[in-house]
Amino acid sequence: MSFHQPLKGIRVIDFCTHGAGPAACKMLADWGAEVIKVEPLEGEAGRYTSKVLGMRADELDNPHAELINANKKSLPLNLKHPEGKAVMDKLLASANVFVSNYRIRALDKLGIGWEEMHAKHPHIIWAVLTGFGLYGPAANNAGFDTVAFWARSGAMIDFSENGELPLTPPFALGDFTTACSLAAGIAAACYQQAKTGQGERVVTSLYGQGLWANSAVFQAVNHGNPWPKSRKLPDSPLRNTYRCKDGTWVMMGTVIYDRYFPVVCKMIGREDLISDERFNTEAAAKINSRAFVDILDEVFATKDYDEWAKLLTENDIAYDRVNLIKDTIGDPQAWENGFIYKYITREGKEDLVVGTPVKFGDCVPAPHLNAPLLGEHSAEILKALGYSEDQIKALNDAQTTIVR
């Protein structure tokens, strides 16, 4: 088996912080791009997120950094110094893509906003991920995923049980979802660049991604189907969770109600319900969902999960166990598809990490090169740009540090 990397030959400047931007660039790196992480001299904030998540965050072991920064190179650079800007300018001249999730006004202040960069480097793809989009009253607001993806989109309250309390959103879920869209947009722009030699402005946002992720519900609400929902009052009792005799929860995910309603009735030994006008159409079941859920609750409580799994499989009904995240760590389905894989930390320990979701060819995960140490590749990158050893030493002078 072999891994395929269709972005070989593409150079990406990763001028990002925290989660979403670095995650998008990690996808590009896995797809074969050379990703150079340009960051502040002290390192960008996402390097230390492992601590926030209760893990180590040092040079020998930094799990979150391995998740979002593996397969990259590091160049800490002082962009407030003219010589630092000159280094960045040379990098941009050699690059295909510039990616950032800093606020637009910060990029403009540094001279790397869209207008200035496009004028100087018309070939480059300028890709940004914002909190709330480029325009409107919230355009310059700080926008982490909990704020922009979850809270403002409506998901935080409408997807909670009965809307009584807001959800406690999973850490960085909005970041990683938005990263996929940004990476896809960059790949499309690379295709255009290959044909025309011209750059493009690629823009996505946490808020826009939140609306897109929730767009089916958005349409339903707009057309009179209110949210939030309750497990006892779902849109359809055949798309709902039920607790088995052994305490395991199962999710039944039937979409075509009229087709599967009689199948479910026969499976649970309640053929009498097939002619019950309270439940035998999707519209009726929605009105009487509490009564139907109560019946299904009682039935599912009579068998263990494995028994129900056999019956659901035999009847070709979409379902799965409702797992805890810790349950997925050993899931053979994840391992056999390379969704999770092992790597070796810098101190020689074996650990695991979730892989980026898009793969090519034989679907083998890309080789895992450890997340770069701060400044690990500075000399290599600068030499490739034409700097001599003396010039590199001067840039790294303790009195006027421009490169670390």
Active-site residue, selected from the candidate residues 30, 108, 175, 320: 175
Q: Quick one: which of 199, 38, 35 has its CA closest to 116?
A: 199
Q: Is 145 one of the catalytic residues?
A: no
| Alpha-carbon gap, residue 356 to 70, rounded angstroms | 11
Quickly list DSSP for 385-403.
TT--HHHHHHHT-SSS-SB
Percent helix, strand, coil in the chain (nearest 5)?
45, 15, 40
Q: Is 231 exposed, middle or buried (0-12, 13-18, 19+ CB in 10 A)?
A: middle
Quickly list DSSP for 228-287.
--BTTB-S-TTEEEEE-TTS-EEEEE---HHHHHHHHHHHTT-GGGGG-TTTSSHHHHHH
Quickly list DSSP for 60-113.
S--HHHHHHHTTEEEEEB-TTSHHHHHHHHHHHHH-SEEEE-S-HHHHHHTT-S
Longest CA pairwise span in the chain (Å): 87
Contact 241, 209 (CB under 8 A): no
| Alpha-carbon gap, residue 75 to 395, rounded angstroms | 12
Q: Which residues are catalytic?
A: 175
